Each structure stands twice: as structure tokens, then as C-alpha cells.
Amino acid sequence: MTPQFNFLIGGRAVGDARECFAVINPSTGELLGEVAKASPADVAEAVRVAQQAQPGWAARSDQERAETIRLLAATLRDNAEQLAAWVAREQGKPLGGLGPETVPGARFELSACQAWCEVNASLSVPHEVVFEDQTRRDEVMREPYGVIAAIAPWNWPLMIAIWQIVPALRMGNAVVLKPSEYTSIATLEMVRILAQVLPPGVLNVVTGAGDVGAALVQDPRIGKILFTGSTATGSRIAAIAAQRIVPTTLELGGNDAAVVLPDADPQAIAMGLFWGAFINMGQTCACIKRLYVHDSIHDAVVSELSDLVRAMPVGDPLAEGTVMGPIQNRMQFDKVTRLVRDTVQQGRGRVVCGGEPLPGPGYFFPLTLITGVRDGDAIVDEEQFGPVLPIIRYDKVEEAIASANRLDLGLGASVWGQDPVQTRQVASQLQAGTVWVNQHGAVHPMVPFGGTKRSGWGVEFGVDGLKSVSTQRVISIRK
């Protein structure tokens, strides 16, 4: 019998007799389970319950909320293996390991969830005196928005959900979460476990496709919207929010460029470039999607990368030793396949390794390197969001900078080289929310993160991230 997974409102499972949708194992194509779809009335009830629970949660002291967030971290640690297994089955990340040979897979994702809880519990945003003289004193206070709508994606379903949930709770908000319909089961299991630690109604989850997310962001009781996903969907959410002047934090698509300078050591940077491009099978917003390499070391970099690509085992995510898994869903699999095939058929590039879907069940596509492409080619200009890396030669550093900046996305970027003065100079010219030097995608819970241009607005992480899920009130006192 196919298991059914229900959504949670007020700490209670809801969904019996509701319409359901299927969740598929991307490695096998088999049915993992059916998830109850929330109706508009269910979404409204989740918001009502959250609104009712929020004042009591906000009334707790800062220290009490911090201690609860620490309990969330401990709960995630106690249930990490169970949740990692769900991520591996449902999202497709290999389990990986934690240690000197860590593979950034499902166990890594759960470790990151714990780290973000612990760091947010350690931070606080006290009242701040911003001005004082003999005549007046001005203080800035931070207050919760109330109910926050959080919409999480399928690529890092638990980690990004935690990025949204935990800062919001830390600042006294209640949350209604809508996970991706592709990865709802792992998220429901996580929320079910976390809800046992939290007061009823403080964290709720509703499940379904885009119409459920639309009902959530359109609810007039929502105080702020947090969304991670595509630029197209983010644009629609921004339009809805603008009608009610509701603040948003949008972390949207990226087509991150990496620039390898002439003095870079191909062997020394190869592993960093590899994981910068292929973490989570390339299904990460802030990973390398375009690699610009100076002509003098182009072939050496391609050689080093191809050696790594060929050595990485692709297969069953639940098998120990697997490094790479499938693409998560059919839609993304078809897009990656189309981009690579069109590039080859049009004679726009040369496949160094990979290039064709792997035989058998599941959405397996091999790690693929493509050279001989240039700006304007679809494989370069479109965010492929998969295990494909186009490598573009350049002659002058100024040309590479212009190429990196030419698109309308700006989530992340990186520069690779040995001269700290030159790498810093190039980094300062790349248009992205975060520019890494000799690393890529190295987000940290203490460091603000967010995009520019059509990659979104607002910041997450650290004190700035806490401030972003709270409103500002100035108390100005005349002496």
C-alpha cells in the first residue's frame, strides 16, 4: 500500500480525504509516496493558526527563543540519519560522509541544518542607540512581522527551509512553509519532528504545487514572504506582494561565472572548481555555470577537471561510496538534455566527457564538460542547473570580466589565481551579491548572502539575516 504523507497545521497532521499528488524517486522512477494537497481553506487555516500562536511565541524572552532553537539543532542531530535517507531517496543526493573525505550530500545537508540552527541561536539583535546628545536619545528596536510565508525549493529542500524557518522563529515570527511538490516528504518529516519541540502553531507546513504557494502569498495576514526559486516565479510573487506592499526576500536564479586568471595553478584549483560547479549535480543556484579560463592554461584546466569528472562514481544515492546522483526531476532532466544536444547538433561546442543520458531507470545524466563554446550560446547564457559545465576561452582579463557581467543575473561569482592583489581587483569588478576568491559557493551562516540584478533582493544569514525577518521601530525621546 502506498504511504500517504499529510501536511501539518498547529502540530497536527491534516490531509485525510484530500486530493493527493505523487512523489517520485528520481533514481528509480518508482513511487515513494503520495502527499495530501492543501486546499485554499487549508492554507487559510494554517495562516490563522500561525497568527494565533505568534504573539505567545514573540512574548518569550530572547534567551528562551534561543534555547528553543538550540533544541531544534539537537533534534535535527538526533534524527539526522533518518532525514538524510529521505533526502537521498527523494531529492537524489548521495548520503555522502562526514569527515576528512566529506562528500557534500544528504548527510552534509543535515549537518548544515544543524549549523544554521546553532549559529542563529548564538546571535541576537539588541536594541541599538543610534543617536544621543543633550537634547534627545534615539533607539532602534526590532519586532517580528507576525506570520511569515516561506516557500522552499527542491534542490536543498531541508537546508534552505531551515534558512527560512530558523531566523524567522528566532525573531519571534510564526511560519507557514510551502515546500516544493517534488521534495515534500523529507520536509514534512523534518517539520513533524521539529514541531514536537515548538509550541503548536508556530511552525506549519502546507503542501502542493504553485497554486498552493499562490494562495499562501496572497493571504492578507502574511507579514513577509521568503522565497527561494526561479526568477520567473520570484517575479510573479513580487507582483503579488507589490499589490499589498508586503516585503519580500527573494533568492532567485543564478548563472554564476568563474574567472580563472593566467597565473592560476590548474592542479591546485581543480578540486575547488569541480565542487564549485558540480555540488548537488550542479543543482545549486550559486554554483559555477560558466567557467572562463585564460587561453594559456585552458587545456591544462580542462585536463585536470576531466580527470576528476571521470573518477567520480555516479549511482544509487543510498549506496555508500556514491558521489553523484540523478537530476531531481524529469523537467530539469529534459532541459539539461536539450541544452547539451542542441549545442552538439549545432556544432557550437565539443563534449570532452559525458554528454548523453545514462541508460536505465532514473534521471541520470553524467557529469559533462563542454569546450569551444562562447557567449551567446544557449548552454552559456541559460542557467542549465544540472551537471554540465561550459568552459570558455578568453585572451584578456578585461574580456572575461565583461563576459561574466553581461547577463542579467548576479547571485555569485568567483575569481581564481595566485596574486592576491589581482584577484581582489578582479573580484571588485564582478557584478554579483557574493564574489568568492579561490572558492565558490562557500556560504556561511554568519555571512550575509543575497543576489543582485534579476537574482533577487534582500539578504539572509548572520545578523543582517535576522534583521531582514523583523521590522524596525525607532523610539525617539526628547530629554
Set of cell numbers at residue 90: 527523494
Q: Rounded distance, CA 319 to CA 321, Å?
A: 6
Amino acid at 266: P
Domain 4-252+455-478 grouped into CATH 3.40.605.10: yes
Active-site residue (options: 251, 304, 383, 460) = 251
Catalytic residue, from 20, 113, 117, 285: name it.
285
List every span in the chain annotated with CATH 3.40.309.10.
256-444
CA dist 389 and 284 (Å) reads 13
State residue 98's pLDDT score: 57
Give the number of C-alpha atoms closer than 13 A to the C-alpha of residue 69, restricted to the C-beta side. Answer: 30
Q: How is the beta sheet containing 12-14 ordered, strand by strand? A: 12-14, 7-9, 203-205, 174-178, 147-151, 222-228, 248-251, 456-457
Q: According to CATH, where is 3.40.605.10 located in the chain?
A: 4-252+455-478
DSSP-derived secondary structure for 31-87: EEEEEEPPPHHHHHHHHHHHHHHHHHHHHS-HHHHHHHHHHHHHHHHHTHHHHHHHH
Spell out the per-residue pLDDT of the chain, length 479, in tens: 889 999 999 999 999 989 999 999 999 999 999 999 999 999 999 999 999 999 999 999 999 999 999 999 999 999 999 999 999 999 999 998 655 556 799 999 999 999 999 999 999 998 999 999 999 999 999 999 999 999 999 999 999 999 999 999 999 999 999 999 999 999 999 999 999 999 999 999 999 999 999 999 999 999 999 999 999 999 999 999 999 999 999 999 999 999 999 999 999 999 999 999 999 999 999 999 999 999 999 999 999 999 999 999 999 999 988 999 999 999 999 999 999 999 999 998 999 999 999 998 999 999 999 999 999 999 999 999 999 999 999 999 999 999 999 999 999 999 999 999 999 999 999 999 999 999 999 999 999 999 999 999 999 999 999 999 999 999 999 99
- d(CA 365, CA 112) in angstroms, rounded, equals 26
pLDDT at 99: 57
Residue 313 CA from chain centroid, whole number: 24
Give residue 17's pLDDT.
Answer: 87
Sign of CA dihedral 231, 182, 44, 56: negative
What is the predicted pLDDT for the residue at 310? 96
Alpha carbons 384 and 284: distance in angstroms, whole number:
10
- The CA-atom distances, in angstroms, between 312 and each of 103, 391, 411, 431 are 11, 19, 27, 32
CB distance 256 to 440 below 8 Å: yes
Contact 374, 340 (CB under 8 A): no
Is residue 438 left, alpha or beta, with left meaning phi > 0 and alpha meaning psi from -120 to 50? left
Q: The pTM is what?
A: 0.96
> Is residue 251 annotated as part of the catalytic site, yes or no?
yes
Three-state DSSP state, 9: strand
Backbone φ, ψ for residue 194 (5° rounding): -70, -35
SS3 of residue 265 by DSSP:
coil
Whole-number pLDDT of residue 321 = 87
Alpha carbons 59 and 53: distance in angstroms, whole number: 10
Q: What is the Cα 286 distance to its own chain's centre?
A: 8
Helix, strand or coil for residue 121? Answer: helix
Q: What was the pLDDT predicted at 348?
A: 87
CATH says 256-444 is which class? alpha beta
- The answer to whether 20 is a known catalytic residue is no
Q: Shortest CA distance to 248 belongs to which of 219, 217, 226?
A: 226
All three cell numbers of 257, joined, read 561565472
